[in-house]
Amino acid sequence: MKSRKLFRPAVLFAAVLLAGIPPVPSRPLAAQAVDVYARPVQAEPSRDFDALHYLIRLKIDIAGKAFDGETTVTLTPLRDGLATVVLDAEDFTVSGVAFETGSPLAFEQGPNKLKVALPRAFRPGETLSLTVFYRGREPKNGLRFYEASGDRPLLVASNSWPDNVHHWLPCWDYPHDKATHEIIATVPAGNKVVANGRLVSVKEEAGQNAVTYHWLQDKPHSTYLFFLAAAPYVVVEDRLGNIPINYWVYPKHADRARRTFGETPALMAFFNKLFAFDYPGAKYDQVEVPFGGGMESTTTTAMGEGVVVDERGAVDLLGKKNSYLQEARTRYVRPIVFDRYDRPEQNFDRHTYPKGAAVLHMLRDLLGDEDFFRVLSRFLHDHAFRSADTRDFMKTIKETTGRNMDGFFEQWIYKPGHPVFEVGWTWDETGRTVKLRLRQVQDFSKGIPVYRLPVKIGIVTSRGKDVRTVEVDEADEAFDLPAEEKPRLVRFDEGNVLLKEWTFERSEDELLFQLRSDDVIGRMEAAGELLRFKDRPPVIDALRQAAEKDSFWAVRESAVRALGQVKGEPQIALLRSKGEDASSKVRIAAVAALGGYGRRDLAPFFKDVFRRDRSYAVQAASLEALARTGDPSAEPFLKEAEAMPSHRDILRAAARRALDLLKKSENPR
Mean pLDDT across the chain: 91
- Same domain membership, residue 223 and residue 243: no
pLDDT band at 293 (very low <50, low <70, confident <90, very high): confident
State how far the Cα of 308 lies from the Cα of 294, in Å rounded to an integer. Answer: 11
Tell me the per-residue pLDDT of 380-407, one tens digit each, with 9 for 90 and over: 999 999 999 999 999 999 999 999 999 9
- Residue 308, domain CATH: 3.30.2010.30
Report pLDDT for 578: 97
Q: Please indicate, yes or no, whether residues 99 and 184 belong to a single structural domain of this protein.
A: yes
520: in domain: no
Assigned domain for 364 exists: yes
Tell me, yes or no, whether 197 and 257 share the same domain. no
Q: What is the pLDDT of residues 627-640, one digit of tens each?
A: 999 999 999 999 99
How many domains in the chain? 3
d(CA 365, CA 359): 10
Q: Residue 350 belongs to what domain range?
A: 1-21+321-504
pLDDT the model gives residue 2: 55
Under a CB-based contact definition with an 8 Å cutoff, are residues 491 and 529 in contact? no
pLDDT digits (tens, 9 = 90+) for 308-340: 766 554 443 823 436 888 899 899 999 999 999
* 221 and 136 within one domain: yes
Residue 285 main-chain phi, psi, to 5 deg: -115, 145
Cα separation, 465 vs 304, in Å, equals: 47
Residue 521 lies in a domain: no
Residues in the chain, overall count: 669
Nearest CA-CA partner of 434 in 463, 464, 462, 458: 458
Q: For the CA atoms of the chain, what is the radius of gyration?
A: 30
Is residue 527 in a domain?
no
Q: Do residues 209 and 246 both lie within one domain?
A: no
pLDDT of the residue at 394? 98
What pLDDT is recorded for position 331?
Answer: 93
> What is the tens place of the pLDDT at every residue in 175-227?
999 999 999 999 999 999 999 999 999 999 989 999 999 999 999 999 999 99
On the question of pLDDT at 461 being above 80, the answer is yes
CB environment 38-58: b (16+ within 10 A), e (fewer): ebeeeeeeeeebebbbbbbbb
CA distance 113 to 409: 38
- The last residue of one of the domains, among 450, 476, 504, is 504
| Residue 80 within a domain | yes
CATH of the domain at 9: 2.60.40.1910
DSSP 201-246: EEEEETTTTEEEEEEEEEEEEEGGG--EEEES-EEEEEEETTEEEE
| Nearby residues of 479 by Cβ (< 8 Å), 6 or more positions away | 3, 4, 5, 6, 7, 435, 436, 438, 457, 470
Q: Do 416 and 452 belong to one domain?
A: yes
Q: Quick one: which H or E segment has residue 458?
A: strand 453-461
Whether residue 375 is found in the same domain as residue 403: yes
**Mean pLDDT on 119-129:** 98
Q: Which residue has the higher pLDDT, 7 or 370?
A: 370
- Would 12 be classed as within a structural domain? yes
Same domain, 87 and 197: yes
| Rounded Cα gap, residues 435 and 421, in angstroms | 16
402 & 270 share domain = no
**Same domain as 296, residue 188:** no
Provide the pLDDT for residue 1.
Answer: 61
Would you say residue 622 lies in a domain?
no
pLDDT at 315: 43
C-alpha separations of 334 from 350, 358, 382, 408 in Å = 11, 15, 30, 16
